[in-house]
Amino acid sequence: MTMRKWQQLDALCRQVRRTALGLMAGTSMDGIDAAVVTIEGFGRERRVQTLATHLEPYADAEREGLQTLIREGGLEALAAWDAYLGERFAEAGQRALTKAGLTTVDFIGSHGQTIWHAPAARLFGHLTPNTLQIGQPDVIAARLHAPVVADFRTRDMAYGGQGAPLVPFVDWLLLSDAHESRAVLNIGGMANLTILPAGGSPDAIYAFDTGPGNTLIDLAVRWGTEGRERYDGNGTRAAQGQVIPALLKQLLTHPFFEQPPPKSTGREVFGEALLQEILMQYALPSIQLNDLIATLTELTARSIAHALQRWVLNKTPIQRLIVAGGGIHNQTLMARLQALLPELIIESTAAYGIDPDFKEAIAFALLADCFLQGEPVAYPGTTGVSKPVPLGKLCWG
């Protein structure tokens, strides 16, 4: 690499106003989220503005192909999917850039698509925490002619973290308040909470996954409608169904809910296998699809409320729950959350100028900015790292 490249990057990092693209694909596997933003200033004084967003949906065949890859593995398939998703992430980014009227950005932060996440793995008796996000960042950098920061989770694990959740630092940057303790909830495939004590430094943040978000609901809808529907639009099916008390009780005994934070989970725990187990016990037509969906929706609402009551409210008296992620569109889920947590103000990140469907994509643009500034974004309280560390690695454009 020529000296010139480093100098260019150094100059770029010093600009007060930077343009960036954030790329994210979550466990829901609905598609690739892209957000083009401008970032002004440094540290806590950063101001972020969204110029354009784009959701590049996965085609059914892509989603099924990814699910097969996750289930069956295979090195040839893995390497091919990595390159292929690199192209798809670049396309998603390109479409967002076009909407923003830009041809490129100063830099890109790309999360990739998680296909494996095993924070407690062991090999030959050694702890070998590992995680794999694909969507080759070199491909993205080459197509969009900008440096790409990627592989945020592996570095976190190398420093003793769970590799998740990574967005809490950005929640702190964008949503913390000097006088009010707040929690930020993301309802994606899984659901996670960030707690922002009033006036706290990043050391005071704590965060953890609460359990399932939309994944089990999505899987049940897809299974029950033979793929005609992909999710419970607005929570209509859940609203029409009745919770099955025995099933709900059984699901709530899952050990994950009593595990103290920091903790993270994924489709390996609350995904296809768990739904299969449920269906072995409660086969249709002995139960109604909408009752199953109502039960899984209640499971998400209860596990979030329980997490707040069990691990948060006794030490941080939060007054406000700020919500993002696709689950915010599930009105039944949101109504149940408010009913279970009557003392909290529950609102969307939209109230703070952040599109709730793109908060994570915006976050990865900011995490890339932090990487370039050498700023720690993972803290002992968020992922369990042994000390605050910056995350990411760089691919030159």
Mark residues 274-303: x for contact with ligand ADP by CB under 6 A, - for none: ------------------------------
Pick between residue 214 and residue 383 the one whose CB is nearest to ligand ADP: 214
Q: Which does 27 bind (CB under 5 to 8 A by kind): Mg ion, ligand ADP, none?
A: ligand ADP
Q: Are strands 31-40 and 17-25 parallel, antiparallel or unpaired?
A: antiparallel
| CA dist., res. 219 & res. 217, Å (int) | 5
CB of 207 to ligand ADP, least distance (A): 15
Select from 9, 22, 23, 27 the one that contacts ligand ADP (CB under 6 A).
27
| CA dist., res. 115 & res. 26, Å (int) | 10
Is 30 one of the binding residues for ligand ADP (CB under 6 A)? yes
Select from 30, 156, 232, 298 the one that contacts Mg ion (CB under 5 A).
30
85 burial level (CB within 10 Å; 0-12, 13-18, 19+): buried
Q: Are strands 130-134 and 107-118 parallel, antiparallel or unpaired?
A: antiparallel
Are 243 and 295 in contact by the 8 Å Cβ rule? The answer is: yes
Select from 20, 21, 23, 26 the one that contacts Mg ion (CB under 5 A).
26
Pick between residue 141 and residue 301 the one whose CB is nearest to ligand ADP: 301
Pick between residue 141 and residue 208 the one whose CB is nearest to ligand ADP: 208
Q: In 3D, which of 24, 21, 17 has the Cα closest to residue 47?
A: 17
CB of 380 to ligand ADP, least distance (A): 25
**Dihedral of the alpha carbons of 59, 61, 64, 68, in degrees to the nearest 10:** -130
Enter the tokens of residue 216: 């089990």
**Dihedral of the alpha carbons of 313, 198, 184, 100, in degrees to the nearest 10:** 180
Select from 325, 384, 392, 397 the one that contacts ligand ADP (CB under 6 A).
325
| CA dist., res. 221 & res. 243, Å (int) | 15
Is 381 one of the binding residues for ligand ADP (CB under 6 A)? no
CB of 32 to Mg ion, least distance (A): 8
> Which secondary-structure segment (H or E) carries 40?
strand 31-40
Enter the tokens of residue 74: 């295979």
Select from 211, 266, 327, 392 the one that contacts ligand ADP (CB under 6 A).
327
Is 356 one of the binding residues for Mg ion (CB under 5 A)? no
Q: Which stretch binds Mg ion (CB under 5 A): 2-10, 22-30, 129-137, 195-203?
A: 22-30
Select from 95, 143, 310, 329 the one that contacts ligand ADP (CB under 6 A).
329
| CA dist., res. 240 & res. 238, Å (int) | 5
Mark residues 346-375: x for contact with ligand ADP by CB under 6 A, - for none: --------------x---------------
Select from 22, 86, 188, 271 the one that contacts ligand ADP (CB under 6 A).
188
Cβ neighbours for 261, distance < 8 A, ≥ 6 positions apart: 206, 207, 208, 311
Is 28 one of the binding residues for Mg ion (CB under 5 A)? yes
- Tell me the angle at which helices 359-373 and 3-14 cross, rounded to the nearest 10 degrees: 120
Pick between residue 156 and residue 232 the one whose CB is nearest to ligand ADP: 232
Is 326 one of the binding residues for ligand ADP (CB under 6 A)? yes
Pick between residue 189 and residue 381 the one whose CB is nearest to ligand ADP: 189
Is 151 one of the binding residues for ligand ADP (CB under 6 A)? no
Pick between residue 81 and residue 316 the one whose CB is nearest to ligand ADP: 81
Cβ neighbours for 160, distance < 8 A, ≥ 6 positions apart: 384, 385, 386
Is 209 one of the binding residues for ligand ADP (CB under 6 A)? no
Rg over alpha carbons for the chain, rounded to the nearest Å, is: 20
DSSP string covering 207-243, please?
EEEEEESSHHHHHHHHHHTTTS-SS-GGGHHHHHS--
CB of 116 to Mg ion, least distance (A): 18
Cis peptide preceding 390, ω within 30 of 0: no
- DSSP label at residue 177: -
- Total binding residues toward ligand ADP, as defined by CB under 6 A: 19
Q: Which stretch binds ligand ADP (CB under 6 A): 282-290, 291-299, 304-312, 324-332?
A: 324-332
Lookup result for tokens 């295979």: 74
Residues that bind Mg ion (CB under 5 A): 26, 28, 30
Residues that bind ligand ADP (CB under 6 A): 26-28, 30, 188-189, 214, 218, 231-235, 325-327, 329-330, 360
